[in-house]
Structure 1
């Protein structure tokens, strides 16, 4: 028996639901078989906040049209709005079974939100297809959610601000990563306009163009969204992984330049902060050369972390990176371009057996 899928990533619906659950005011209606509706269980076990995941199941089933049981899409959408009156965006997500069934249904008009006199926005994803990966779907879903809130063009903030595009919910240490990036940016005099997707609300998505630049902490999910903002609003992006002393310093210098800050002041702040917190270069210089002699490293993961870690180990510690790989085949060209700057063993592979053979 050979595992073909599901080792490194889940299905496309799982990626979309992770993005939806990261943004307050967004509720997902999942069209799936009952056995595919495990996201709420994972949410409760991982988050432990006492809140239910903003996901409602619309089960695939065969039955009479006059039945009041869940499964009628129009009735299920109306139920979401009645039970969650503060919802601003409702998204329709389809599981693998729903996509393979090739069912078609007209999109109904939604009920008005009580107190506002207008219905919530319904966002669908026509690009969904069977076999699509979790990360690729999350990336495209975030772009579509942002586009759905771009009816107005807000003015740029009068002071330097940036948007942080990081990992969605369930990302390892995601909240801490946002917080640390915000702390470092505050030290150089730059405020955070919005954290996206984790920690944002539906209103924040429409205010993203107020920022002076976008900083990608996790390029896998924010790539398409920041390219859209760059094309439509001329917002520059900083894509260097904020990992290690060199990567962190490069990001802060780039942000300072884009926000028209005094470069000498920014550099002094970077030196002072890294001298206090960056222990990896200090440890590499303290240890005798024999400690790292003939030590080789192999790295495998998504996109941002393998590249950031590879840069840090090769340039700050001096280790030989013999292999650096990713399972994200849709980012193959960009990954190989960056990984080849510090190793000749860059590769892209989503077959676990092939990865283990390396």
Structure 2
């Protein structure tokens, strides 16, 4: 646990609540003080939910601190059981309430004696794991609980479905385009003649979990959430696991070939090569577009990539091997899975950065001075300050990245969405310059595009006027180079003469 005004992955209880609220007929009780109860507002705003978020906060206040939490927590659980009639109630503390060192498992056991629904305590270490790790663990815990429960009652059916079928694990609320991706995956599986047996947790009910062993294989499109549950099912019931995210033309084809191999190993005898060829040539416009003159103009341009493991690794590969764009560095904030990320991007970028420190990423972007950024909402903020366009490819995100329209990133339709994002991110960087040339708006005064709010250098009016003559799309770079030169040479004020000297020094 650490204090910061920005975190790429939130605290553990956010991950647990994301999973719990993704299910239907599941309610979450959050044991937390005021200030930790922002999940409901965040989810209803970003997802534009029509219904109330199924999360109740059991507030830790001065009365609780004086008298203890047990009665209040148990009362909240039993009350929601009576009011909502859920199948499951998940109790989760937050980092703050965990300081109280209360025996919440005992609270759960007491409440279970009075409720008709199941009650679970989220079994995660709120001090040691972040939002994504907690979500992965919570989903695995729920899957394990209901598979074991079905086995004890004799309701577990392990016989495979007559036709090939798949479990899709890991699509949750507040995920980056997760609902659109799930819709696209359902369509893709249907085109391949594969029935979707169960998709967890988004839109599912806990009683569907008992059907998991009936599928022919598990598909986990996002590395961050779903792997632990899929691995448990694989260990207990022998279901093969496909973890290649079908993001981009080449990765989508690779994922389909892995599915083909899994089915053929079970005696199905399918051949998807003709399907891959048709989809690549006629459905995915990205394959054609990457060879067009428009895309050729992007060849060799510099970009940086940062995000969660799944999206950052896939975008790095797409830029480098499908669009010919030079990835200066690629990075992820998923530090617990760093080895996998390095393996995935090896050979596709010059440098790999693994960190959850947003200031380090901001400095790395400023130093690289790429033509475009592909990252999270934080990198978009950095890009605005540096006058570098940014395409958002990963959570954390802003409400604008929860589109009402259909915008998947997976499958063959996803390849088109990604190609548009990449192309527009680069070309839109010229807009300010073109508007200035053609008089679309008043020429801006000097734009400060540094990551620091203050500066130790002054600019004379003449130098500021000279800087304004520089085209907008490179003005930030010229300003940074000039200030760097001035500091190195010990000039406290930047004059026109210093600007020219800096220009000569860098050979511009």
TM-score when normalising by structure 2 = 0.64
Aligned mates of 1:331, 1:27 — CA distance in 2: 30
- Displacement, 1:293? 3.9
Structure 1 residue 128 and structure 2 residue 122: aligned? no
Contact 2:123 2:141 in 1 (8 A): no
Structure 1 residues 221 and 278, CA gap change in structure 2 (3 angstroms): same
22-31 or 310-319: bigger deviation: 310-319
Aligned mates of 1:159, 1:289 — CA distance in 2: 42
Count of residues in Structure 1 that have an aligned counterpart in Structure 2: 349
Aligned mates of 1:3, 1:34 — CA distance in 2: 17
Contact 2:223 2:309 in 1 (8 A): yes
Aligned mates of 1:163, 1:88 — CA distance in 2: 21
- Displacement, 1:70? 10
- Displacement, 1:288? 7.3
Aligned mates of 2:51, 2:95 — CA distance in 1: 27
53-62 or 101-110: bigger deviation: 101-110
- Displacement, 1:133? 1.0
280-289 or 29-38: bigger deviation: 280-289
Contact 2:143 2:229 in 1 (8 A): yes
**Structure with larger RCO (C-alpha < 8 A, sep 6+):** 1
Contact 1:58 1:71 in 2 (8 A): no
- Displacement, 1:321? 1.8
- Displacement, 1:61? 2.5
Contact 1:31 1:94 in 2 (8 A): yes
Aligned mates of 1:55, 1:288 — CA distance in 2: 48
Structure 1 residue 92 and structure 2 residue 91: aligned? yes
Q: Which residue of 1 aligns with 2:432?
A: none
Structure 1 residue 139 and structure 2 residue 145: aligned? no
Q: Which residue of 2 aligns with 1:78?
A: 78
Structure 1 residues 80 and 197, CA gap change in structure 2 (3 angstroms): same
Structure 1 residues 5 and 156, CA gap change in structure 2 (3 angstroms): farther
> After superposition, where does 1:91-110 map in structure 2 within 5 Å?
91-105=90-104, 106-107=106-107, 108-110=110-112
Give the CA RMSD over aligned residues: 2.4
Moved over 3 A (4+): 2-6, 64-67, 261-264
Q: Which residue of 1 aligns with 2:333?
A: 327
Contact 1:112 1:120 in 2 (8 A): no
Aligned mates of 1:290, 1:90 — CA distance in 2: 54
Aligned mates of 1:64, 1:257 — CA distance in 2: 57
Structure 1 residues 92 and 288, CA gap change in structure 2 (3 angstroms): closer
SS of the residue 1:322 aligns to: strand
> After superposition, where does 1:18-33 map in structure 2 within 5 Å?
18-33=18-33
Residue 315 of structure 1 is aligned with which of 321, 324, 329? 321
SS of the residue 2:175 aligns to: coil
Structure 1 residues 350 and 175, CA gap change in structure 2 (3 angstroms): same
Contact 1:81 1:111 in 2 (8 A): no
- Displacement, 1:213? 0.8
Contact 1:281 1:317 in 2 (8 A): no
Q: Which residue of 1 aligns with 2:39?
A: 39
133-142 or 278-287: bigger deviation: 278-287
Q: Which residue of 2 aligns with 1:268?
A: 274
- Displacement, 1:36? 1.3
Aligned mates of 1:110, 1:311 — CA distance in 2: 49
Contact 1:214 1:226 in 2 (8 A): yes
Contact 2:290 2:296 in 1 (8 A): no
Structure 1 residue 225 and structure 2 residue 265: aligned? no
Structure 1 residue 48 and structure 2 residue 54: aligned? no
Aligned mates of 2:357, 2:64 — CA distance in 1: 43
Contact 2:248 2:314 in 1 (8 A): yes
Which whole-Å deviations, capped at 9, do the CAs of 1:266-322 have from their partners, x for residues lacking one?
A: 111121122222222211212278623431221000011111111222221222222
Contact 1:20 1:26 in 2 (8 A): yes
SS of the residue 2:112 aligns to: coil
Structure 1 residue 252 and structure 2 residue 265: aligned? no
Aligned mates of 2:168, 2:133 — CA distance in 1: 19
Aligned mates of 1:206, 1:247 — CA distance in 2: 31
SS of the residue 1:58 aligns to: strand
Aligned mates of 1:127, 1:286 — CA distance in 2: 50
Aligned mates of 2:134, 2:191 — CA distance in 1: 35
- Displacement, 1:143? 0.6
Q: Which residue of 2 aligns with 1:181?
A: 185
Aligned mates of 2:186, 2:130 — CA distance in 1: 30
Structure that is richer in helix per residue:
2
| Gapped regions of structure 1 (runs ≥ 5) | 114-118
Q: Which residue of 1 aligns with 2:349?
A: 343
TM-score when normalising by structure 1 = 0.90
